[in-house]
């Protein structure tokens, strides 16, 4: 199944989703939707109880339409998560007492409509991303760097797709290898340092962190291309080499400035705290 994964926000809640390009359908994480609608301290338990109740009440058909898919979890690992399309979600919402039900339905319709527009005019998604970051206080310089970094990232993942890298889990492993090499910390540790949970790490990077991430991924792709890297082993080796190039540049900059490139700074709302991490290599 050819698909594209992403995070989308409803109010303050991040909701995991993927787009099945074959059927042109969005699928959303049911647990994330439950969390957004109920504010439950344990949405996974809420969903398990609701599933059992629906089955007991003879509404098991709705539950069976929630298919398990491996998605990035809070700890950064790929875990099976119940996913549902728009139609199934609308049925589930009827069983969840929440004042947010109607606003969520409107949001759901809007998300689907925007995706259809994006398919016919890709520039719309870029404009929407730019507007989103501007709304959240990012500078024009930061936005430009974020978008350039995403283009670099896309070229790397395109190479991986064409050279026997299978699925999001292998993508995540290679990404972590590159990140660990250039920054001295894993993706999970970097998110912990910034006090992030389900948020996208790159959306909370400083300008310098974005630049070094892009350098590491650009170097990785060019090395992989020159070596014709294929499969996990060879691409992992290219990732270490590419990340190593960015690591050397990072260390040199840190020696000149006396400041760490990898920081706990983020764009979370005021009141969110960051974690301190042991000094990286």
- Asked which of 88, 120, 152 is the last residue of a domain, the reply is 120
Residues 161 and 223 in one domain: yes
Instruction: Find, among 149, 214, 159, 171, the residue nearest to 72 by Cα.
Output: 171
Residues 99 and 52 in one domain: yes
pLDDT band at 156 (very low <50, low <70, confident <90, very high): very high
Q: Is 276 exposed, middle or buried (0-12, 13-18, 19+ CB in 10 A)?
A: exposed
Domain count, the chain: 2
Instruction: Find, among 118, 145, 114, the residue nearest to 209 by Cα.
Output: 145
Does a structural domain hold residue 206? Answer: yes
Give the rounded percent of residues in the chain with a pLDDT score beyond 70. 86
Residues 100 and 49 in one domain: yes
Instruction: Find, among 171, 188, 182, 173, the residue nearest to 211 by Cα.
Output: 182
Does a structural domain hold residue 277? Answer: no
Give the rounded percent of residues in the chain with a pLDDT score beyond 90. 45
- Lowest mean pLDDT, pick from 116-120, 171-175, 225-229: 116-120
Residues 159 and 232 in one domain: yes
- Asked which of 76, 92, 120 is the last residue of a domain, the reply is 120
Residues 30 and 102 in one domain: yes
How large is the average pLDDT for residues 133-143?
88
Higher pLDDT, 34 or 75: 34
Does a structural domain hold residue 212? Answer: yes
Residues 175 and 213 in one domain: yes
What's the pLDDT score for residue 9?
Answer: 73
How large is the average pLDDT for residues 17-30?
81
Higher pLDDT, 124 or 58: 58
Residues linked to residue 82 through DSSP beta bridges, in sequence order: 68
- Are the beta carbons of 187 and 176 closer than 8 angstroms? yes
Does a structural domain hold residue 166? Answer: yes
Q: Is it the case that residue 213 has pLDDT exceeding 50?
A: yes
Identify the sign of the CA torsion 74, 79, 82, 84: positive
Please tell me the distance from the alpha carbon of residue 21 to that of residue 115, in angstroms, as a whole number: 11
- Are the beta carbons of 30 and 92 closer than 8 angstroms? yes
Q: Is it the case that residue 254 has pLDDT exceeding 90?
A: yes
Please tell me the distance from the alpha carbon of residue 31 to that of residue 54, in angstroms, as a whole number: 15
What's the pLDDT score for residue 113?
Answer: 57
Residues 110 and 172 in one domain: no
Does a structural domain hold residue 279? Answer: no
Q: Is it the case that residue 277 has pLDDT exceeding 50?
A: no
Q: Is it the case that residue 279 has pLDDT exceeding 60?
A: no
Does a structural domain hold residue 263? Answer: no
Please tell me the distance from the alpha carbon of residue 73 to that of residue 95, in angstroms, as a whole number: 25
Does a structural domain hold residue 125? Answer: no
Residue 222's domain spans which residues? Answer: 139-257
Does a structural domain hold residue 91? Answer: yes
């Amino acid at each position: 199944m050819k698909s594209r994964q992403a995070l989308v926000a409803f109010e303050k809640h991040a909701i995991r989703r993927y787009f099945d390009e074959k059927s042109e359908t969005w699928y959303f994480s049911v647990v994330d939707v439950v969390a957004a609608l109920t504010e439950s301290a344990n949405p996974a338990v809420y969903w398990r109880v609701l599933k059992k109740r629906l089955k007991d009440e003879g509404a098991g058909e709705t539950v069976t339409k929630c298919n398990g898919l491996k998605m990035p979890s809070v700890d950064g690992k790929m875990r099976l998560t119940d996913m549902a399309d728009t139609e199934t979600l609308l049925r589930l919402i009827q069983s969840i007492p929440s004042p947010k039900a109607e606003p969520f339905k409107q949001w759901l319709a809007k998300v689907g409509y925007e995706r259809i527009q994006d398919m016919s005019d890709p520039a719309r998604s870029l404009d929407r991303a730019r507007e989103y970051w501007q709304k959240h206080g990012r500078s024009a310089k930061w936005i430009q760097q974020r978008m350039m970094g995403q283009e670099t990232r896309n070229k790397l993942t395109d190479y991986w797709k064409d050279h026997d890298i299978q699925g999001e889990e292998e993508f995540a492993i290679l990404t972590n290898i590159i990140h660990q090499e250039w920054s001295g910390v894993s993706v999970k540790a970097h998110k912990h340092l910034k006090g992030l949970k389900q948020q996208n790490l790159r959306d909370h990077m400083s300008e310098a962190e974005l630049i070094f991430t892009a350098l590491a991924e650009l170097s990785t792709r060019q090395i992989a291309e020159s070596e014709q890297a294929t499969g996990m082993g060879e691409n992992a080796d290219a990732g270490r080499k590419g990340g190593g190039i960015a690591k050397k540049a990072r260390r040199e900059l840190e020696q000149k400035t006396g400041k760490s490139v990898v920081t706990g700074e983020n764009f979370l709302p005021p009141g969110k705290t960051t974690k301190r991490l042991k000094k990286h290599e």
